[in-house]
Amino acid sequence: MPDIYPASDEFVANAHVDSAKYEEMYAASISDPDTFWGEHGKRIDWIKPFTKVKNATFELGKVDIKWFEDGTLNVSANCIDRHIAKRGDQTAIIWEPDDPKTPSQHITYRELLENTSRMANVLKAQGIEKGDRVIIYLPMIPEAAYAMLACARIGAIHSIVFAGFSPDALADRINGSGAKAVITADSAPRGGRRTPLKTNTDKALQHCSDKVKCLVVKHTGDQTTWVSGRDIDLRAEMASASTDCPPTEVGAEDPLFILYTSGSTGKPKGVVHTSGGYLVYASMTQQMTFDYHDGDVFWCTADVGWVTGHSYIVYGPLANGATTLMFEGVPTYPDAGRFWEVCAKHKVNQFYTAPTAIRALMGQGTEWVEKHDLSSLKLLGSVGEPINPEAWNWYNTHVGKGRCPIVDTFWQTETGGHMITSLPGAIPNKPGSATKPFFGVQPEVLDAATAEVQTRTAAEGVLCIKDSWPGQMRTLWGDHARFEEAYFSQYKGYYFTGDGCRRDEDGYYWITGRVDDVINVSGHRMGTAEVESALVAHEAVAEAAVVGYPHDIKGQGIYAYVTLMNGVEPTDDLRKELVKWVRAEIGPIASPDLIQWAPGLPKTRSGKIMRRILRKIAENDYGALGDISTLAEPAVVDDLIENRMNRA
């Protein structure tokens, strides 16, 4: 396998950015960000044009990030109205349902305008105003996009809760954001199964103010209980609502959305993105990273419950007047060829997914890919975790047939858009490397212990970013102090990503994974502390410590060490019950893969759990346990090793 893969001459000749242009634009973006972003800020429409561009400081105690601060705009008008004259009849969204026997839908920009305006008018009729929060807890149906854009249209702030989250997690987010309404559906079909979203919402709302309204999309027709005065049939209301809803003018720095994500402490963090800078960045990265051209069909397989869906299913593509595909289902239903069948059916040109999906499909054999005509594909993308060479090679050979560049995009909920990624016409790929920074992004490798900036090209350490970019999060909802503490306190003057990385002699970046207590399970971020607090909430559990361990398909699996209350019998039934418990507390994505009974946990004399040791045991790596002499009870470690779960 060669170690470097340039795009074909033909691809480069048609690309938005080639290598000379990348070098020139990157240098300009760093040497004079005001001029660079002042120019690129014009890619979106402003109601009142900005006169100021960048105004940001990472200084601890004063962290403040503003872009285009005196400009005003409306995000939904940018994603819809401004395209109507030229593209009213062009498909904006292709909707592909879970069940392939259900017809897919093509929603034109004109229809998108009508539906978004109708939904915005329903929200207004419910008293939702500029600055109010609205929770969206929906399947991957067109209403999810209408709901996001309807909030943006009236200046309301949406917060999407992934449909796999539990009623408790939903209640926390409704209360945490102080939402006035929840938009949900009767149920969410996925892979032939249904998640009872309305029932979950009913349960969540028992823990919320009785003023919170519940707007329900009757999607599957499943029977649900109905609370009159609180529950509203959204489709019925939309049918009679006006299709005219003038977009509300908002400031560039008015929040567009809050998205809760896991951190290294127990409570999820409400990441706040604002309107102007986020949209400029999402649209520019969508166009340049994927080399999107007019008329292309773009498919990002993420769920809108994650940031990837926000930036690359809805906001980025629609701001660019693209045709974006929204898929309700899963890669393996009804069979392992579904992704490829959908690519062939809709003649997808750019396909963007996570390594975990590739690994799962790889295990099913190549016949599922070979069966479908993938000649429309021009480019492939990867996101969420490092892509291992086997998966890269399979993706390249069997899906891309060796002719599609693969962009490995490193970014985060906090960053709004791609941070380190190849631009396909400019930067040859090395499998497993996210390659080089996007315009305006200044990565630095710092020594983890000394915080010293590594000045040699080839270096290893933690990944920090030196200065602001327009898509950067602005704060944590209601907790600016935690924002500063979580991202700017470890390495003074820098935004700390939480990731480790290596930079090679060519200046390519290789992300080596989280260095904090966050794990990456199937490309989804999970705080180990969140799973621990769910476990200790069970009456049988005295103490729990959760770590990640290498998992063939998921990347990392969830490994829980559990100390039971005195007198409680460790049984297989209890193990199953605890897994079920965590699913109910957080959601299926947090299910522990392995639970090891631990009569004791390795702690320092001051009582701190030594996770490093627990991680090594979970990885079956005993040679590297390091110094255990500071443990209060070193014998605990022998017991844990003897009873480890993931025996090789």
Annotated binding site for Mg(2+): 536, 538, 541
When the beta carbons of 276 and 309 are compared against ligand PRX, the nearer one is: 309
440 counts as binding ligand PRX under rule CB under 6 A: no
**What tokens appear for 287 in the block?**
């166009």
Q: Tokens 């100390």 — which residue?
A: 563
When the beta carbons of 118 and 474 are compared against ligand PRX, the nearer one is: 474
When the beta carbons of 115 and 261 are compared against ligand PRX, the nearer one is: 261
Distance CA 494, CA 278 (A): 20
CB 245 within 8 A of CB 154: yes
Residue 449 in 3-state DSSP? coil
When the beta carbons of 308 and 468 are compared against ligand PRX, the nearer one is: 308
User: Smallest distance, Å, CB 107 to ligand PRX?
Assistant: 25
Distance CA 396, CA 102 (A): 31
Among 111, 132, 499, 532, binds ligand PRX (CB under 6 A): 499
Helix axis angle, 611-618 relative to 635-642, nearest 10°?
20
Cis preceding linkage at 334, omega within 30? yes
User: Smallest distance, Å, CB 381 to ligand PRX?
Assistant: 9
308 counts as binding ligand PRX under rule CB under 6 A: yes
Choose among 105, 89, 108: nearest CA to 97.
Answer: 105
When the beta carbons of 71 and 432 are compared against ligand PRX, the nearer one is: 432
Q: In 398-487, at which residue ranges do the beta strands (DSSP E only) sit?
A: 406-409, 443-446, 459-465, 475-476
User: Smallest distance, Å, CB 36 to ligand PRX?
Assistant: 24
Residue window 513-552: x/- pattern of binding to ligand PRX, with contact defined by CB under 6 A: xx-----x----x---------------------------
500 counts as binding ligand PRX under rule CB under 6 A: no
Among 411, 477, 496, 549, binds ligand PRX (CB under 6 A): 411
Residue 185 in 3-state DSSP? strand
Distance CA 394, CA 1 (A): 12
303 counts as binding ligand PRX under rule CB under 6 A: no
When the beta carbons of 71 and 317 are compared against ligand PRX, the nearer one is: 317
Among 393, 412, 442, 630, binds ligand PRX (CB under 6 A): 412
498 counts as binding ligand PRX under rule CB under 6 A: yes
Q: In 115-245, at which residue ranges do the beta strands (DSSP E only) sit?
A: 133-137, 157-160, 181-185, 188-190, 193-195, 213-217, 231-233
Q: In 312-415, at which residue ranges do the beta strands (DSSP E only) sit?
A: 323-327, 350-353, 379-383, 406-409
Among 74, 320, 497, 563, binds ligand PRX (CB under 6 A): 497
Choose among 642, 564, 547, 549: nearest CA to 600.
Answer: 564
436 counts as binding ligand PRX under rule CB under 6 A: no
CB 548 within 8 A of CB 530: no
361 counts as binding ligand PRX under rule CB under 6 A: no
* # residues near ligand PRX by CB under 6 A: 22
When the beta carbons of 33 and 381 are compared against ligand PRX, the nearer one is: 381
User: Smallest distance, Å, CB 601 to ligand PRX?
Assistant: 26
Q: Residues interacting with ligand PRX, by CB under 6 A?
A: 261, 307-308, 383-386, 408-413, 434, 497-499, 511, 513-514, 520, 525
